[in-house]
Amino acid sequence: MNWVQKNSRKWIQEQPKVLFTDTTWRDAHQSLFATRLRTADMTRVAGRVAKGLPNLFSLECWGGATFDVASSFLCMKILGTVAHVP
């Protein structure tokens, strides 16, 4: 565990209030737009989200689709090179 992970976890555990994460962007990106939501589209509304939900702890933007894309498309290109890695 690196310094950021360790200290972030500690800070979160010390908070006396519930911390909320908005998953709207993740769900829209994965389900509604089939992972085709462009960064420019998200950037265009990011300021409005920040103003409308100023007490959010975090925004979940990528979710499992990021891993799926990496494993389905990007890793296929290197499988032969790293076939010995479990």
What is the token pair recorded at 68?
């799926």
Burial label for 29, CB within 10 Å (0-12, 13-18, 19+), is: buried
| pLDDT of res. 71 | 58
Provide the pLDDT confidence category of residue 76 given band limits of 50, 70 and 90.
Answer: low
Name the average pLDDT for the chain.
Answer: 74
Contact 26, 62 (CB under 8 A): yes
Q: How far is residue 18's CA from residue 85's CA, in Å, rounded to a whole number?
A: 41
Residues facing residue 22 across a β-bridge: 59
Determine which of 10-14, 21-25, 71-75 has the lowest per-residue pLDDT on average.
Answer: 71-75
Each residue's pLDDT tens digit, 17-59 = 999 888 887 776 666 666 667 778 878 888 898 899 888 888 8
